[in-house]
Amino acid sequence: MSASAKAVFEADSGKLDAALLRIQGSMLRLQRGVAGVFVAFKSLQAAGQVIGAQFDQVKKAFDLGGELNDLSARTGIAVGDLAVLRQEFSNAGKSAEDVGPAIAKMQKSLAEGKGADLIQKMGISMDELKSKTPAEQFHVLGSAIAGLQNPLDRVHAATAVFGKSGAELLSVFSGGNFRDPDLTH
């Protein structure tokens, strides 16, 4: 009895080995399929993140455009010039939202003639200054203030034209665009 049982077992063992190999092959194919789905899911997830980031950038651009349009309407400065001013403020560590109030204070001072004597002492003709756009006025005054040698004179001139917060603009005026001597005349 043991010999026939042994033969049946060996025969069954061969069938079992073949069945196990088929199962193993099926499991490998299933594993590759799952891995493919996982890779596809990760790719879709990454694409979704890229699309989401691009959407955020487009939304920020539209928001900035709206803000610049509103500020342009309030100050009379062209949107392109405002974009440059915002960047200059940002480069100086100032908030881009500070552009509007600084321009408004400058325009009020010029309209009221505040600091006119000081402006003329810096070599700027008030008539010429008033004929310029607000952005040009800002750059002309900023360049003239930045060109003053004495720090106390810079503070005095900045506050005379831009009010109490004028001294805070000195960091903006020390930037590259305010060192151009052609802008002061």
The C-alpha atoms of residue 100 and residue 132 are separated, in whole angstroms, by 17
pLDDT at 139: 92
- Higher-confidence residue of 81 and 18: namely 81
The C-alpha atoms of residue 82 and residue 169 are separated, in whole angstroms, by 16
| Phi, psi (deg, nearest 5) at residue 104 | -60, -40
* 8 A C-beta contact, residue 106 and residue 81: no
Q: What are the tens digits of pLDDT across the range 172-184?
A: 998 767 765 454 4
Structure confidence at residue 23 as a pLDDT band (50, 70, 90)? confident
pLDDT at 181: 47
Q: DSSP labels for 28-48?
A: HHHHHHHHHHHHHHHHHHHHH
Q: How many helices (H) and strands (E) does the chain have?
A: 8, 0
Structure confidence at residue 74 as a pLDDT band (50, 70, 90)? confident
